[in-house]
Amino acid sequence: MSEEINNDRRRLLATAAMTIAATQLGMIGSANAQSNKTLQLTIEGELPPLSSATEWLNSQPLTPAGLRGRVVLIDFWTYTCINWLRSLPYVRAWAERYRDRKLVVIGVHAPEFEFEKDIDNVRRAAKSLRVGYPIAVDNDHAIWRAFNNHYWPALYFVDAQGHIRHHYFGEGEYEQSEMILQHLLAEAGTDGLADELVSVEARGVEAPPDWASLKSPENYLGYERTENFGSPGGAVLDQRRIYAAPARLPLNHWALSSDWTVEKGAILLNQAPGRIAYGFHARDLHLVMGPALRGRSVRFRVRIDGQPPGAAHGLDVDGQGNGMVTEPRLYQLIRQPKPIADRQFEIEFLDSGLEAFAFTFG
């Protein structure tokens, strides 16, 4: 993924909390205040060809011509993106509710990390996340470029004539998005649309973030995009090195301990045990990671301020902090109860051959 695209993504995520906070304070109008009958949607462009998809899952290849007469929702995603994961319950609910009312949802999987190009990984993620609608695998980012897209998640709303009528980047605005779908479906002649919107109870990694407590931004671990590396002496690029971690890290700084290689897009543990430490302030902490070799498993142990997480453990960790890396994906390691404060997180890997890519928070 190009540096320009990733920088755009970071700017988008940096403004998300402020936008949602403004909505909660009444500074931005609620979607409930606007009827879908009063929406004014202009034509933004035409649905590009989808023929450059590397592969299709859950469907035969779809074409703009074959989709005429149906409303289409294009959802750009990549399966380790926490922002997309938190939007998924709504997209999944819309696909189910309006499936027989002329709506086709197409998830365009445009990978961020190299392992997300593996079709087996995408297929496994789609099954685990219950993504049952058509998926266009966009490993070359050709569809991404055809839309001039820059973000995960990104929604493009296409009417029954193949015109792009609206787009939305990032999380949120779910009520407004569903009202736009209803508006386009009504234009397409769908009768009997209820005014009620879907009701979603998201759980686990799909649950909404605690924006008010979130003071830690996403951080990549490969040297191309990482920030605030705190091991003494800095990182030696693309070479094995024995690192040490300070006893305490400033907020949003991270460090390594033991034998690691800091690569362009990831960090690799050469010899166990090895630790990553991170100073963070958020309800949730996630780490995108996986075994360096397919079929291997890597045991790990999590600590928060030096203690087992207990009630603060995430989905992929027990109360004692124990867990297992079995495949490349996003792992939820911490979900702590309030009060939220500055904490020091540590994860110790008990087996070598672990690759870690990015921390995300919620």
Note whether 230 and 174 are same-domain residues.
Answer: no
What does the alpha-carbon distance between residue 115 and residue 263 come to, in Å, rounded to a whole number? 15
Q: What is the mean pLDDT of the chain?
A: 91
Residue 13 has pLDDT above 70, yes or no: no
Note whether 269 and 313 are same-domain residues.
Answer: yes
Q: How many residues does the chain have?
A: 362
Residue 129 has pLDDT above 90, yes or no: yes
Note whether 124 and 99 are same-domain residues.
Answer: yes
Note whether 191 and 237 are same-domain residues.
Answer: no
pLDDT of residue 239: 98
Report the CATH number at residue 315: 2.60.120.260
| DSSP H or E segment with residue 2 | none
Q: What is the pLDDT of residues 154-209, one digit of tens each?
A: 999 999 999 999 999 999 999 999 999 999 999 999 887 877 899 999 999 999 99
**The pairing of beta strand 103-109 with beta strand 135-137:** parallel
Taking Cα atoms as reference points, which of 255, 208, 207 lies closest to residue 235?
A: 255
Neighbours of 334 (CB within 10 A): 25
Based on C-alpha coordinates, what's the Rg of the chain? Answer: 21
Note whether 106 and 170 are same-domain residues.
Answer: yes
One DSSP character per residue, 145-178 reads: HHTT---SSEEEEE-TTSEEEEEEESS--HHHHH
Note whether 295 and 201 are same-domain residues.
Answer: no
Q: What is the pLDDT of residues 72-110, one digit of tens each?
A: 999 999 999 999 999 999 999 999 999 999 999 999 999
Note whether 202 and 310 are same-domain residues.
Answer: no
- Its pTM stands at 0.90
What does the alpha-carbon distance between residue 278 and residue 287 come to, in Å, rounded to a whole number? 11
**CA 61 vs CA 53, 54, 65, 123, 311: distances in Å:** 8, 10, 12, 16, 46
Q: For 88-204, list the strands marked E by DSSP.
A: 103-109, 135-137, 154-158, 163-169
Q: What is the pLDDT of residues 274-313, one digit of tens each?
A: 999 999 999 999 999 999 999 999 999 999 999 999 999 9
Taking Cα atoms as reference points, which of 135, 87, 129 lies closest to residue 111?
A: 135
Which of 179, 206, 233 is the endpoint of a domain?
206
Which of 206, 238, 259 is the endpoint of a domain?
206
Report the CATH number at residue 182: 3.40.30.10
pLDDT of residue 194: 75
pLDDT of residue 191: 86
Give the number of domains in the chain: 2
Residue 349 β-bridge partners: 274, 300
Which of 190, 206, 222 is the endpoint of a domain?
206
Residue 351 has pLDDT above 60, yes or no: yes
One DSSP character per residue, 262-308 reads: E-SS-EEEEEEEEEEEEEE-SSEEEEEEEESSTT--EEEEEEETTB-
Q: Is 309 left (phi over 0), alpha (psi -120 to 50) or beta?
A: alpha
Taking Cα atoms as reference points, which of 235, 213, 359 lies closest to residue 288?
A: 359
- Domain span at 180: 3-206
Q: Is 11 helix (H, G, I), strand (E, B) or coil?
A: helix
Note whether 198 and 228 are same-domain residues.
Answer: no
**The pairing of beta strand 254-262 with beta strand 267-280:** antiparallel
Sheet of 71-77, strand order = 45-46, 163-169, 154-158, 71-77, 103-109, 135-137, 55-57
Note whether 169 and 223 are same-domain residues.
Answer: no
What does the alpha-carbon distance between residue 281 and residue 214 come to, in Å, rounded to a whole number? 6
Residue 33 has pLDDT above 90, yes or no: no
Note whether 254 and 160 are same-domain residues.
Answer: no
Note whether 184 and 215 are same-domain residues.
Answer: no
Note whether 188 and 299 are same-domain residues.
Answer: no
**Percentage of residues of the chain with pLDDT beyond 70:** 90
